[in-house]
Structure 1
Amino acid sequence: MTLATSAGTTSGTSRPRISQRISSIAESATLAVDAKAKALKAQGRPVIGFGAGEPDFPTPDYIVEAAVAACREPRNHRYTPAGGLPELKDAIAAKTARDSGYQVEPAQVLVTNGGKQAVYEAFATIVDPGDEVLLPAPYWTTYPESIRLAGGVPVEVVADESTGYRVTVEQLDAARTERTKVLLICSPSNPTGAVYSREEIRAIGRWAHEHGLWVVTDEIYEHLVYGEATFSSMPVEVPELADTCIVVNGVAKTYAMTGWRVGWLIGPKDVVKAAANLQSHATSNVSNVAQRAALAAVGGDLSAVNTMREAFDRRRRTIVSMLNAIDGVMCPEPQGAFYAYPSVKGVLGREIGGRTPTTSVELAEIILEQAEVAVVPGEAFGPSGYLRLSYALGDDDLAEGVTRIQRLLS
């Protein structure tokens, strides 16, 4: 029998109990904040959570009914191809052509257990130890961890509120080295809501192609754009990039299906085949019931999506207006997704409720403790000095939550 020591090693050996690869991974900050908010609610505290990035709408009924019917079908009780149901891959290819104009074959589609698995498998398939990945910051908290798990080195390229959180070709070129292999792009962006224009997408894509870089583009918020902003798909705008481009997407945000865990990646056939081999050993097929639900989602119309987008647009304008009314807070108007990403640099260093925060982590702690509002600090996504607030929650909770922050910070 061996016993763990306080240093995290096993008695009788200097070997650590947890592998270095896994112990180096940081916990998902967004899920941690959401879990803490829910735990406080369970204790009876009136916490309002702006942490989790998931729609507050139920999954549309026709999708749920498809899952109910699938449960009764014996064929769905068995193993199916690890890379996804053939009919779902067909539907994803058709949906991709319909929504973004990108023409792909079903053999270029891999169905995954949510978008996170698609992100990880994309990097695991094309990144070797030491390869550098250009990572525009602020970034979704999972990106750098997936890159590190694949043996890669995330290289942050920071854009701030002065540029609407969008990086430029000049910044990317300054960060590129002989070890650079991949560029990650997420537009519309989590966590900032930034949307790159068609011209910006073209310029960045052409630059990546010119330098022989892979591009991993996360398009999961493609339908959530507002005002004059439009979604542009990198391989559509830069067709010559298609052989070195991987598109990540899923049903979670568009169809209010975060808990169903169905995502996908689209790429060159050799990449998809390699990623499918990995998945065959890691998880095998995605739940057949969830796949049947996703089939109903991507094959249906976008009326439910349009209803949700209208609500998000209304909340977007409300939250930006309320945040910008706070002294020391500056919130650019997000053009997509459902996040506000205000700079709180003007608040740091001021006394708030008997404490003087110097980082956005400390400020988020004060807001949770004293205003009973859960937000995610900027450190989860890159530099300090920012907060992320998801406005995918009810209008009343949104107004009450930001009002509490206003009272505390004023």
Structure 2
Amino acid sequence: MSTLEEYRTRIRENDKQLLRLIRERFSIADKMAEVKQSKGLPIIDTDAEQSALSNLAHAARELGLSTEFARRFGELLIEETIRVEEQGKPRQSKDQLLKEVVELALRLSSKGERVTRFEIGEPNFPASPQVIQGLTETFRKKKIVGYGPAAGLPELRRALADELNVEHDTEIEPDQILITPGGRFGIFASIAGFVSQIERVVIPQPAWPAYEECVDFIKGRVIPLNTTLEERWEIDVGKLETELRKGARMLILNTPSNPTGKIISKSKFEEIIELAQRYEALVLSDEVYDKYVRARAPSILESGRENYIYVNSFSKQFSLTGWRIAYLVTTKENAMRIKRVIQTVATCVPEFIQNAALVAIKKGRREAQRNINAIMKKVELTCRELGKIDVSFYRPDGTFYVFPRANKPNFDSVRFAKQLLEQHRVSISPGQAFGNYPAFFRLAVSLPAAKIPGAVKAIGKAIDAWSL
């Protein structure tokens, strides 16, 4: 046998021994899963994962191995261990809780039933005639071309930069802006571009479930930071610092918040951004509801920092939800990194959609704001009606959402949402979709004002009749 073949034989034996040890590790993981289940503990323990990775890095240094290799090896082991522990116990998607209500409402509507839609986060005003005209003009003049730039049309990015610089007193350049196929994709591209497997992402909750879905998709780790109605949905800065100190790759902020309508105060916002800077966490600031406000919300663009990605969208401001167009603002270096995700997954946003968005900025802003103001009045009406039923809630600072809590013990908003839809033909979003909030539900005030009193009254009646 040649020396080379001897080496290969030894490697094969080492590989077998390694697999035996891994099999033993999975056997231990099976037993751990049983213990966790008996104690009602979650499968994923992010602190234990970080400890395991730290131990592997220490062992690698002692053995003269690459700590980067040790990390990659550890991440693979952890993911496989979780897969073993979760066998037969699939994770429930929070996003799916929302989709189930929407699908049931659509099924009933398709049968001719009249359903009052309090669950869908979509403005009920139409796109402005100027925007529609801009779209048809693009077709008429045959300005439809092939693939466009992955970052977006230069003239749209320039218009956005000019508008943002006036609004926020900044010096944003077009190369810092990326046009994305919707806000959700912009958030996904940002997370996919910067968060690696097992890296931690801190998300104050309650929160839009898409954040968690995106982090889970790339096998990152969601670190929920719970807030409460009693504390007026304020972020506990001390608890946030504790999580950031442990090592977080990203912090996601949403102000005004979906679902609570909470606006983070300027002083607290600055304190949070300072903490993120200190612990080198990238801040993803979702500000798509910044025009749905009673008082101006703080913006990451005015922070003077560079560790950020700003997200905004044409969907909510101009009622272009189905058109799928949004935009990001970040540093030029970060933009190049995110652009690679866009190129790989989406290529570009269709240019005729971007041309229509350009018209929206130039000609549709005034009408859009009138429509937004009308929706905000409906939010006020909803709050007045909610004051007549057995719920507690925070009067929203912004957005077109209200997040009430039913004042009933052992309330289950998933079950309640289905019963309400089946018995009263009113659809709402269950609180569990936004975090550990089973007693809460979200109302999206995007329905005609005339329907609001009757729908809220039906909700109150169903709450009064609630029992397990």
Question: Contact between 2:119 and 2:443, CA under 8 Å: does it hold in 1?
Answer: yes
User: What's 1:82 paired with?
Assistant: 150
Q: Which has the larger radius of gyration?
A: 2
After superposition, give the CA deviation of every residue in 1:202-242 in whole Å (9 maximum; x if it has no partner). 1111121122211000011111101xx32110231x21x22
Larger helix percent: 2
In 2, distance between residues paired with 1:95 and 1:155? 35
User: What's 1:332 paired with?
Assistant: 394
Question: Contact between 1:67 and 1:290, CA under 8 Å: does it hold in 2?
Answer: yes
In 1, distance between residues paired with 2:332 and 2:92? 30
TM-superposed CA distance for 1:385, in Å, is: 1.4
User: What's 2:457 paired with?
Assistant: 403
**Aligned partner (choices 355, 369, 377) of residue 314 of structure 1:** 377
Given the superposition, is the C-alpha separation of residues 78 and 271 from structure 1 closer, same or farther in structure 2, using an over 3 Å criterion? same
After superposition, give the CA deviation of every residue in 1:157-211 in whole Å (9 maximum; x if it has no partner). 0111112223131121133343312111000111111111111211111121122
Question: Contact between 1:187 and 1:222, CA under 8 Å: does it hold in 2?
Answer: yes
Question: Contact between 1:348 and 1:360, CA under 8 Å: does it hold in 2?
Answer: no
2:104 aligned with 1:50 = no
User: What's 2:272 paired with?
Assistant: 204
CA RMSD of aligned residues (A): 1.9
2:247 aligned with 1:184 = no
Question: Contact between 2:148 and 2:348, CA under 8 Å: does it hold in 1?
Answer: yes
After superposition, give the CA deviation of every residue in 1:50-107 in whole Å (9 maximum; x if it has no partner). 1111100000110111011112333423211122111111111112223333431111
TM-superposed CA distance for 1:25, in Å, is: 7.9
3-state DSSP of counterpart to 1:230: coil
Question: Contact between 2:144 and 2:352, CA under 8 Å: does it hold in 1?
Answer: yes
In 2, distance between residues paired with 1:125 and 1:98? 29
After superposition, give the CA deviation of every residue in 1:133-153 in whole Å (9 maximum; x if it has no partner). 110000001000111223321
In 2, distance between residues paired with 1:193 and 1:272? 29
User: What's 1:268 paired with?
Assistant: 331
Which runs of structure 2 are paired with 1:10-409 in the superposition (5 Å)?
A: 26=93, 27-226=95-294, 229-236=295-302, 238-239=303-304, 241-242=305-306, 244-300=307-363, 302-327=365-390, 329-344=391-406, 346-349=407-410, 358-383=411-436, 384-409=438-463
3-state DSSP of counterpart to 1:82: coil
In 2, distance between residues paired with 1:178 and 1:147? 18
TM-superposed CA distance for 1:333, in Å, is: 0.2
Question: Contact between 2:383 and 2:395, CA under 8 Å: does it hold in 1?
Answer: yes
Structure 2, unpaired ranges of 5+ = 1-82
Moved more, 390-399 or 112-121: 390-399
In 2, distance between residues paired with 1:154 and 1:364? 26
* % identical equivalent positions: 27
3-state DSSP of counterpart to 2:296: coil
TM-superposed CA distance for 1:30, in Å, is: 3.2
3-state DSSP of counterpart to 2:178: strand
Question: Contact between 2:158 and 2:174, CA under 8 Å: does it hold in 1?
Answer: yes
Moved more, 193-202 or 110-119: 193-202
Matched AA of 1:314: K
Question: Contact between 2:143 and 2:352, CA under 8 Å: does it hold in 1?
Answer: no
3-state DSSP of counterpart to 1:389: strand
Question: Contact between 2:124 and 2:319, CA under 8 Å: does it hold in 1?
Answer: yes
In 1, distance between residues paired with 2:188 and 2:450? 36
3-state DSSP of counterpart to 2:384: helix
TM-superposed CA distance for 1:317, in Å, is: 1.4
User: What's 2:42 paired with?
Assistant: none
3-state DSSP of counterpart to 2:418: helix
Matched AA of 2:462: L
In 2, distance between residues paired with 1:168 and 1:103? 32
In 2, distance between residues paired with 1:136 and 1:393? 28
TM-superposed CA distance for 1:28, in Å, is: 4.3
Matched AA of 1:124: A
In 2, distance between residues paired with 1:25 and 1:160? 23
Structure 1, unpaired ranges of 5+ = 1-15, 350-357
Moved more, 135-144 or 312-321: 312-321
Moved more, 25-34 or 392-401: 25-34
3-state DSSP of counterpart to 1:104: coil
Q: TM-score, normalised by structure 1?
A: 0.87
